[in-house]
Amino acid sequence: MHRDVKTAIVTGGSGAIGGAICRKLAEDGFQIVVHYGSNEDAATNVVEQIASGGGKAIKANADVTDPQRIRELFETAEAAFGGVDVVVANAGTITKCPVVDMTIEQFDSMVAVNLRGTFLTAFEAAKRIRRNGRLIFISSGLAARPMAGTAVYSATKAAIDAMAVSLSKELGERGITVNSVQPGATVPGMFEQSGEEAAKAFAAMSPFGRLGHPDDIAEAVSFLAGDSGRWLTGQTVRVDGGSMN
């Protein structure tokens, strides 16, 4: 990636992990498009944090399940910054409950956001990312090690891990790498829904004796997004402090 100024779109950029990714990539010199679904205030805060550090960022709203809105998200990035070099498909949702208690609405929501949304983002990214760019999916350690109450969520994340491998073979001729990052238990983030007992248990599973922090995930994404990640593609990178070993 030889451009002096590069542009990154981060879906779900208003969330804890997404916000950390936005801030880290801004530190790396990227112009950032902070995508949000419903929390505009959080997206505004991320943009302001980036600006206060001397970086450039804009916020952009889109329903990731709507192909027209995703198309407009990329058009917004191109209009503001001239093109797109890195796309981080981070937007996701989770409902934890046993399969026998899950509603069809809950099932549809996770499939729509986690799988359809990631596909639609990848669909536009595959057409628009400039040569030698990066496409990075944010998956979950639960894709590899599903737990009770996570059947559907785990399945959607395993699906995008497989998608990344296939896309890496399709986009490699343009020098574009495609990888998937599997965070472990990370706070702040969606894991906070699991409660204090789960937090203690997962912290104890890591040899470091703690949970992950969004910055831990952002550092891995930063590596994959930069020049140092040019020879990694089609990989699933587990970033969990060794808790799932």
On the question of a cis peptide bond just before residue 188, with omega within 30 degrees of 0, the verdict is yes
Of 96, 91, 88, nearest to 114 (Cα)?
A: 91
3-state secondary structure of 115: helix
Beta bridge partners of 34: 10, 59
Contact predicate 35/73, CB 8 Å: yes
The owner of tokens 């891990």 is 161
Cα angle 223, 122, 234 (rounded to 5 degrees) comes to 50
Of 122, 215, 111, nearest to 171 (Cα)?
A: 122
Beta bridge partners of 86: 8, 134
Catalytic residue numbers read: 153
d(CA 88, CA 221): 8
Tokens of 50: 């980036």
